[in-house]
Structures are given as structure tokens and as C-alpha cells.
Amino acid sequence: MRSEEIVGSLERRYLTDLLQKGKRIDNRGFFEGRSIQIIPNVIHKAEGSAMVKWGNTVVVAGVKTSVGPPFPDTPNQGVITVNLELSPISSPTFESGPPGPDAIEMARVVDRGIRESHVIPMMHPQMCIIPGKLVWILFVDIYILDDGGNLIDASALAAMAALANTRINKVKINEETEEPILLEEMDPLPREGSVVSLTYVKIDDFILYDPSLAEDRAKIARFSVGIADDGMICSMQKGESGVFSEEEIITILEKATSRAKELNKIIDESSFLNEGEMFQFDF
């Protein structure tokens, strides 16, 4: 801990010195993102999946589908659950065990983006098999595999891309027993558009988009915003002990709205790729 903290403080000073000269550690512009690769359908056993390499960060998301009872207050709606694991595979500082507050916050931020944008329309008739009794339940599970910074945006993209290639079984009702039968044949999961996350961090007084690992460590404040392909802001999350002014938030929202357009395009492109192979990644 101690020696890490000293490194942390030296690293922070080094980054700040660079930023004062208008430079980032990897020579990007302050609002420039890193390269992104998506491999859809990477997991055979999952009903939907995607692996994302975002800069040095690698994330995989898988969607498993099952049928079960709806929540009592939404008897005709499907159910979606997002989990995220900061796997110890991805960083020497992560430990195994149930998700801690960091992983919980990330999962909930990704979840809110998907939920509030209604990109997966839970009220769609296809989501409900028998009203009040049986609906589709989606588990979106995200594993961080290599922590290269900006885990929220990479996770949100992997989850969105996995949902974009998710299939659910066609359902037939047995006429005698009135019980539903899941057929082998599958339909695409209903989807209306897409949503992406955009994360900005503050180091000293500088605001940067898409933090690398070093910038993630040095940040004093974080602001993530989820924006749908129709330009609507669906989620915001400020994090860390530092603060923002109203003006800073307004500036970030402007920058984010324009960047979101590019990112939302990537998802629809990826969903039409053929099934990818992981070794196409040079990770």
C-alpha cells in the first residue's frame, strides 16, 4: 500500500506537469478516445456475447436468457439484471470474492443506461410469455479481463454489443396443458436503438475524456453520462471526492453528445459482423 501510494503521488505529478503543457501520457487530445474493437458472439454457450478491447482494457459480456415469473408490479414485462466482476485476472489490485462497492457501482451505472434508454423494450409483447406468470429474464454478466482504464465505458459497450446479438427461443403454447414450450428456433431479442457511456475525469483542473489506467488512478473526480442514439441523456453518475462546477458539467454534456453519435454507430456496425474469433485480437 505505502509504496503504491508514493508511486501514485509521483505519477499524479508527472501527469499534471504533462497536462499543463497540453499533453496526455499517450499523446491523445484531451477529448480524444482510444481505439475500440468489438467481437460479437464470442461465447458459444451464451445467448448473446461480445468482447471489447478499448485501448488496453479488455472486457467480455455474456447474456444468458431464461424464463421465470415477472415482478408483481410489472406483470407483462421482462426482467434484466446486470452484474459486473472486477476479476482478479484483470489487475494485481483486484481480489476475488463477491462484488465490492466499486464493481456494484459500475454494474448499476451500466444497468441504468440500458434500463432508462429502453433500448431493450421490456414491455414488448415478445418479452412476456404468459402475462403475470412467465416472462423472459436476461442476465447480462460483465467480466473485466484486463484493466487499462475507463472500465465503465468499455463495460457499457460490451453489454450493449452483447444484447445486440442476443437471441431468445421462439415459444409455442401446448394447446392441451396450456404450458409454453421453448422451441429450438430463435429470434433476435427485441431492440430499439442503442446507448453508450462516456466518461470524463478531472485531474487537477483539467478535464479529459476516456481515461487511461494512469489517468484513472490520478483522477480526483469522474463523470459518466449515458446517451442513447436519439441523443437523449439517460444516465449520469458523478464519482470520487473531487467536485465539478455547473459550467464544467454543461461543457462535458456538449462534448459527450457529439462523441456519443460516433460510438452509437459502432454498435450497429458490430452487430452485423460475422461471428468473430478471439484470436483476431492481438491482446
Partner 1 sequence: MSENKNATLLENGLRLDGRDLHELRPISMKTGVLDRADGSCYLKWGNNKILCAVYGPRELHPKHLAQPDRAIVRVEYRLATFSVNERKSPAPRRREYELSKIITESLNHILFLEKFPNGTIDVFITVLDADGGTRCAALTAASLGLADAGIPMKGLVTGCAVGKVEDKIVVDLSDVEDKDGQGDMPVAMVYNTGEITLLQCDGKFTAEEITEGLKLAKEAIGKIYQMQRRALLAKYSQIAESYDEDEEEE
Sites for partner 1 among residues 152-171 (CB under 8 A):
none
Contacts of 209 (CB under 8 A, 6+ apart): 30, 31, 32, 33, 198, 199, 200, 255, 259
State which of positions 233-272 bind partner 1 (CB under 8 A): 233-246, 249-250, 253-254, 257
Indicate the residue among 192 and 269 with the shorter CB distance to partner 1.
Answer: 192
| 186 near partner 1 (CB under 8 A) | no
- Per CB under 8 A, the segment of 22-30, 37-45, 170-178, 198-206 that binds partner 1 is 37-45
Residue 125 binding partner 1, by CB under 8 A: no
Report if residue 182 touches partner 1, rule: CB under 8 A: no
Residue of the chain from 11, 30, 79, 105 that contacts partner 1 (CB under 8 A): 105
- Closest approach of Cβ 88 to partner 1, in Å? 5
Contacts of 94 (CB under 8 A, 6+ apart): 86, 87, 88, 144, 147
Q: How far is the CB of 268 from partner 1 (least distance, A)?
A: 20
149 exposed, middle or buried (CB, 10 Å; 0-12, 13-18, 19+)? buried
Q: Residue 160's closest CA among 120, 198, 125?
A: 120
Distance CA 35, CA 95 (A): 28
Q: Which stretch binds partner 1 (CB under 8 A): 168-176, 199-207, 223-231, 265-273?
A: 223-231
For partner 1, the closer CB: 8 or 188: 8
Tell which residue, 54, 57, 16, 23, has the closest CA to residue 37: 54
